[in-house]
Homo-oligomer: A and B are copies of this chain.
Amino acid sequence: MVRTADHEARRRQLIEAAIEIAVGQGIDRVTVAAVARTAGVSVGLVQHYFPAKEELMRRAYAELLARLDARVARIVAAGEEHGDAIREMVPVALGELLPIGPRRTDEARVRLEFQTLAGRNPDLLATAQEHERRMRERLRVTVDNAKKCGETSRSADSSEVADDLWAAVTGAAPAMLVDPAFDGRRVLAGACQRAFPRECRRAART
Contact A187/B175 with A115-B112, A116-B112, A194-B194 known, Cβ cut-off 8 Å: no
Task: Indicate the size class of the contact surface on chain A.
Answer: 35 or more
CA gap between A170 and B176 in the complex, in Å? 12
- The verdict on A171 contacting B179 (CB below 8 Å), with A112-B115, A112-B119, A116-B113 known, is no
Q: With the chains together, A190 CA to B160 CA distance in Å?
A: 9
- 1/0 per residue, CB under 8 A from B, across A124-136: the answer is 0100110011001
A170 touches B163 (CB 8 A): no
- Beta-carbon contact of A174 and B164 below 8 Å: no
A118 at the interface (CB under 8 A from B): yes
Q: B168–A168 contact, CB under 8 A?
A: yes
Q: Which chain B positions have C-beta within 8 A of A132?
A: 175, 178-179, 182
Tell me whether A167 and B178 are in contact in the complex, defined as CB-CB below 8 angstroms, given that A116-B112, A119-B109, A160-B186 are known contacts: no
Query: Which of A113, A119, A172, A184 has the most chain B CB atoms inside 10 A of its CB?
Result: A119
A62 within 8 A of B: no
Write out the residue numbers on chain B whose beta carbons fall within 8 Å of the beta carbon of A172: 167, 171
| 18 cross-chain CB contacts under 8 A | A26-B120, A109-B119, A109-B120, A119-B177, A125-B178, A132-B178, A132-B182, A160-B186, A163-B183, A163-B186, A164-B168, A167-B167, A167-B175, A167-B187, A168-B171, A170-B171, A170-B174, A171-B171
